[in-house]
Amino acid sequence: MEVPSRLSTMSVSVHDFLLLTVLIGCDGANLVVADFLGLKPPEFLSLSQVRGYTEYPSGYDFRNEYVQFTGDHSLIARILIDDKLVYWFMTMEVDPKGSAVAQDPQLIQQLTLDSINEFPTEMVEMVKNSDLESLSIARLRYRAPWDVLR
């Protein structure tokens, strides 16, 4: 049986074969899966997202729940990973493309702190104490659901 090179075969019984296309991995920002499927490129939003981790060596007293605060054109949230590590993210209206901020964790941290001064102290302290190596900023993209349907 001739099988196209991009397909794999799996023997089910002596005389039956299934043609399979297997996709393993995460699309992420590289759009490999979308390109493979022939989807239109996503639209850039006017929002960027900062992501980071904060470790609390002595632990913390946060309740085990997703917490989110919103402000003028910004949002910050945290998710507890374990009894000492917190993942947090913030969305804001800023375009890091082509700026020094995108490459410098200290500038990312300062931009975030400048944007959350009206938020609760525990959130400000979380950003201040974040692991600089974990900080990243990226412009958000959006693909409309009808662009996925073919």
CATH class of 43-142: alpha beta
Structure confidence by residue, pLDDT tens digits, 54-68: 999 999 999 999 999
Structure confidence by residue, pLDDT tens digits, 97-115: 666 677 899 999 999 999 9
Structure confidence by residue, pLDDT tens digits, 16-67: 665 666 655 555 556 777 777 788 888 888 899 999 999 999 999 999 999 9
Q: For the whole model, what pTM was predicted?
A: 0.73
Q: Do 121 and 69 meet the contact criterion of CB atoms below 8 Å apart?
A: no
- Percent of the chain scoring above 70 in pLDDT: 74
Strands 17-20 and 85-92: unpaired
Residue spans per domain, the chain: 8-40, 43-142
Give pLDDT, residue 1: 47
Does the pLDDT at position 5 exceed 60? no
Does the pLDDT at position 10 exceed 80? no
Give pLDDT, residue 3: 45
Q: Do 77 and 36 meet the contact criterion of CB atoms below 8 Å apart?
A: no
Q: Which two tokens stand for residue 10?
A: 């799996």
Does the pLDDT at position 2 exceed 90? no
Give pLDDT, residue 144: 83
Does the pLDDT at position 133 exceed 90? yes
Give pLDDT, residue 49: 94
What is the rounded CA–CA span in Å between residue 8 and residue 83?
Answer: 44
